[in-house]
Amino acid sequence: MAQDYTITSQSESQERRPDGTYEPVIEVGYQTTTTPPVVGTVTVPKHLVKDHVKFVEAVKTAVEAAVASHNAVAQL
């Protein structure tokens, strides 16, 4: 799973919502330590930066979901 990964980048961006408005987000790049590595980017709401614990949990959850999706597709 994505329990072993490295954060490779972090930047501010905006993500379009279904209603056409934009939400500030943090784009977080990651790379797993598996062989072969899984490399990707996830986004988390920017307001979570104010609460370090919630931000870290959101990043961890998003990375694990992205890696699980990648692995599921790779096994097709």
Spatial distance between the Cα atoms of 57 and 59, rounded to a whole number of angstroms: 5
Please report where in the chains the tokens 């959101």 appear, as a residue. Answer: 58
pLDDT in tens, 50-64: 999 999 999 999 999
**Of residues 5 and 1, more confidently modeled:** 5
In the predicted model, is pLDDT for residue 74 greater than 70?
yes
Query: Is the backbone of residue 56 left (phi > 0), alpha (psi -120 to 50) or beta?
Result: alpha
Question: Tell me: the pLDDT tens digits for 12-42?
Answer: 999 999 999 999 999 999 999 988 899 999 9
Q: Which pLDDT score, from 0 to 100, does residue 35 have? A: 86
State the pLDDT at residue 3. 66
pLDDT > 90? residue 48 = yes
C-alpha span between 19 and 35 (Å, rounded): 40
Q: DSSP per residue over 3-32, as a string?
A: TSEEEEEEEEEEEE-TTS-EEEEEEEEEEE
- How many angstroms separate the first and last alpha carbons of the chain? 17
- Predicted confidence at residue 76, as pLDDT, reads 86
Domain-wise residue ranges, the chain: 5-74
